Amino acid sequence: MDPVVAFLKSLVLIWVVYVLVQAYRRRRAAKRWAKAPQRDVSGLVDTGEAAFKHEVIRTGGPLKPKHRRLVLRDNRLLPKPPPDPNRRRWPPPPKVKYLTEREADRLFGPSCARATAM
């Protein structure tokens, strides 16, 4: 067999193994992040100890057992999962400021709000 063909076959084999390993890692990470979101409720009770520390938020199924009403939750209002320390991401771009603080205070101050309401 030609050494170039053998080398190309080994490169293709390495690439296929790499793709399979990456797919397995993505699937495993997706399973980890697919857990039900939890909310820390230990600080809600002012007196005494809280009976439980974390509340598991159901995002599907019936609202109560043996009921037909379904749970509908807006994903934007659920607690955000902590960032995965193993995933490296670029930092988000800085937000565009359309008005300076001084201009915003002048335009949206209480005296202007009363004048426009009349």
What are the pLDDT digits (tens) for 71-115? 887 777 777 766 666 677 777 788 888 888 888 888 888 776 555
Give the model confidence (pLDDT) of 19-70 as tens digits: 999 999 888 877 766 666 777 776 665 555 556 676 777 777 888 888 888 8
Q: Taking a C-beta distance cutoff of 8 angstroms, is the pair 58, 36 a contact?
A: yes
Q: Is residue 69 a part of any domain in this protein?
A: yes
Q: With respect to residue 96, please indicate whether it lies within any of the assigned structural domains.
A: no
Q: Which residues pair with residue 38 across a beta bridge? A: 56
How many folded domains does the chain comprise? 2
Q: Residue 111's pLDDT is what?
A: 75
Predicted local distance difference test score (pLDDT) of residue 36:
65
- Contacts (Cβ under 8 Å, ≥6 apart) of 81: 33, 37
pTM of the entire predicted model:
0.34
Are 79 and 54 in a shared domain? yes
Name the pairing type of β-strands 38-40 and 54-56.
antiparallel
Q: Domain range holding 49? A: 36-85
**Looking at residue 14, what is its pLDDT?**
95
With b meaning 16 or more CB within 10 Å and e meaning fewer, what string describes 72-109? eeeeeeeeeeeeeeeeeeeeeeeeeeeeeeeeeeeeee
Considering the domain boundaries, does residue 103 fall inside one? no
At residue 116 the predicted structure's pLDDT band, cuts being 50, 70 and 90, is low
pLDDT for the residue numbered 86: 67
